[in-house]
């Protein structure tokens, strides 16, 4: 018998590879979906598994976005003049320069946020619960406000990323960014899945369930917390770098450090799908993205009202998420052994 999981994974992979050719009109939407899934999955590492609910992962996302674009421009042209001219076509990247710059930029965009997370992690991960949540919220907003005052990356007027080079009339921008984000998504999924089958995940869960006891058992909790946050920051930065290229324009508070949108989305998607599960964030992000696009198109202007209501409703009535609901409904599918008599007795007790 062929492994059932293998078939599922292969079919998703094949669908992902041919999707931009079947639905050419949705290339950009599919790329954004990939980025959203990456963000939700990485938020879930420290939000769901480790129990450190962060509002500040947007910091790494925005940092990655700015770094990728700055490196891509700064490798070949003076950065200050580029941003000063507002992305006017004074400098044009050749295709080789564009791809080389984008590759190096993505590497920097992933590694630097991870290092930043490691550096600030020791200070900030010592806070717990709501103090951690509000501290990271402050960090994200502060990053947005401060980057909006720095001249070299465009300050208030924004930063235009290099336009996609045009070889001989061939328009491949959508495909390029789609495959960038899809490959990153596959990479993220493989890394996260392999993490979840190791002792590392058990340690994170122990920290979530009772940090003091975990420490008493001899686990160096701080080390694991920092590593968990660094992994999260690495992929957040990567996603940010891709998103910067995809959007083509970076603004400090509306695109990069957009705590009101992306910063909440990643939390919401993970909760909607189910915190602390492998597939939860993937399902949550997909459902959320479809819902959001519908709302954003048909109720233009009311989207934040809908978002606010959605947050409240999900948080109050649906805190376990889709995976939690499925688990309650079909516990057998999740490998839980159910004793019918025991279950009946519990129902009667209620």
Partner 1 sequence: MDFMVFQYPMITVQACLDGILLGILFALIAYGMALQWGVMNIINIAQGDLVILGGYIAYFMYLYGIHPAWGVIVSPIIMYFVGIGIYKLVINKVVDRDLFISILATFGISILFMQLMNFAFGADVVLANSGYGTTFLFDNNVVLPNSKIFSAFVSIVFAICLVIYMKKSKLGRAIRATAQNARAAKILGVDTEKVYAATFGINAALCGVAGALISITFTIHPYMGLPYTIRSFMIVIVAGLGNLPGVALSGMGLGVFEEFADYILGTEFRIGSVFLLLVLILVYRRFKLSKKREYLK
130 interacts with partner 1 by CB under 8 A: yes
310 interacts with partner 1 by CB under 8 A: yes
**One-character DSSP codes across 54-89:** -S-THHHHHHHHHHHHHHHHHTTS-HHHHHHTTT-T
Report in angstroms how near the CB of residue 291 gets to partner 1 at its nearest.
15
* Furthest C-alpha separation in the chain: 76
Report in angstroms how near the CB of residue 334 gets to partner 1 at its nearest.
23
| Cβ-contact 60, 113 below 8 angstroms | yes
216 interacts with partner 1 by CB under 8 A: no
The span of 9-17, 84-92, 227-235, 263-271 binding partner 1 (CB under 8 A) equals: 263-271
User: Rounded to an integer, what distance in angstroms lies between the CA atom of residue 60 and that of residue 245?
Assistant: 16
User: Rounded to an integer, what distance in angstroms lies between the CA atom of residue 101 and that of residue 81?
Assistant: 17
319 interacts with partner 1 by CB under 8 A: yes
The span of 4-12, 27-35, 302-310, 333-341 binding partner 1 (CB under 8 A) equals: 302-310
- Kindly identify the residues of this chain, within the stretch 150-169, that bind partner 1 according to CB under 8 A: 156
281 interacts with partner 1 by CB under 8 A: no
Token couple for 115: 């290092």
- The pattern of x and - marking residues 75 through 114 that bind partner 1 according to CB under 8 A reads ----------------------------------------
133 interacts with partner 1 by CB under 8 A: yes
The count of residues interacting with partner 1 (CB under 8 A) is: 41
| Cβ closest to partner 1, residue 316 vs residue 349 | 316
User: Rounded to an integer, what distance in angstroms lies between the CA atom of residue 55 and that of residue 224?
Assistant: 20
Report in angstroms how near the CB of residue 209 gets to partner 1 at its nearest.
13
State how far the alpha carbon of 204 is from the alpha carbons of 50, 228, 342, in Å.
Answer: 5, 8, 31
User: Rounded to an integer, what distance in angstroms lies between the CA atom of residue 223 and that of residue 204?
Assistant: 11
């Amino acid at each position: 018998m062929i492994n059932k999981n293998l078939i599922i994974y292969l079919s998703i992979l094949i669908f992902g590879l041919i999707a931009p050719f079947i639905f050419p009109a949705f290339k950009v939407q599919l790329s954004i979906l990939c980025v959203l899934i990456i963000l939700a999955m990485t938020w879930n590492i420290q939000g769901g598994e480790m129990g450190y609910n962060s509002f500040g992962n947007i910091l790494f996302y925005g940092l990655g976005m700015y770094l990728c674009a700055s490196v891509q421009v700064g490798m070949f042209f003076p950065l200050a003049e580029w941003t000063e001219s507002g992305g006017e076509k004074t400098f044009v990247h050749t295709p080789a320069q564009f791809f080389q710059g984008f590759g190096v930029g993505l590497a920097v965009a992933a590694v630097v946020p991870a290092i930043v997370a490691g550096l600030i992690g020791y200070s900030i991960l010592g806070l717990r619960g709501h103090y951690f949540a509000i501290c990271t919220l402050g960090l994200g907003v502060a990053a947005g406000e401060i980057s909006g005052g720095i001249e070299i990356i465009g300050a208030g007027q924004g930063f235009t990323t290099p336009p996609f080079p045009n070889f001989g009339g061939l328009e491949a921008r959508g495909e390029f960014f789609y495959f960038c984000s899809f490959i990153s998504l596959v990479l993220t999924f493989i890394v996260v899945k392999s993490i979840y089958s190791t002792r590392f995940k058990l340690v994170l869960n122990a920290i979530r369930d009772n940090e003091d006891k975990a420490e008493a058992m001899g686990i160096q909790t701080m080390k694991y917390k920092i590593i968990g946050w660094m992994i999260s920051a690495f992929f957040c930065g990567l996603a940010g770098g891709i998103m910067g290229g995809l959007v083509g324009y970076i603004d400090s508070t509306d695109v990069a450090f957009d705590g009101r949108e992306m910063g909440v989305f990643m939390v919401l998607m993970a909760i909607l799908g189910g915190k602390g599960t492998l597939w939860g964030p993937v399902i949550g992000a997909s459902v959320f993205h479809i819902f959001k696009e519908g709302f954003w198109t048909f109720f233009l202007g009311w989207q934040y009202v809908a978002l606010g209501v959605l947050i409240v409703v999900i948080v109050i009535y649906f805190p376990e998420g889709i995976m939690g609901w499925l688990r309650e409904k079909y516990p057998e599918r999740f490998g839980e052994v159910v004793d019918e008599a025991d279950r009946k007795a519990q129902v009667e007790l209620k």
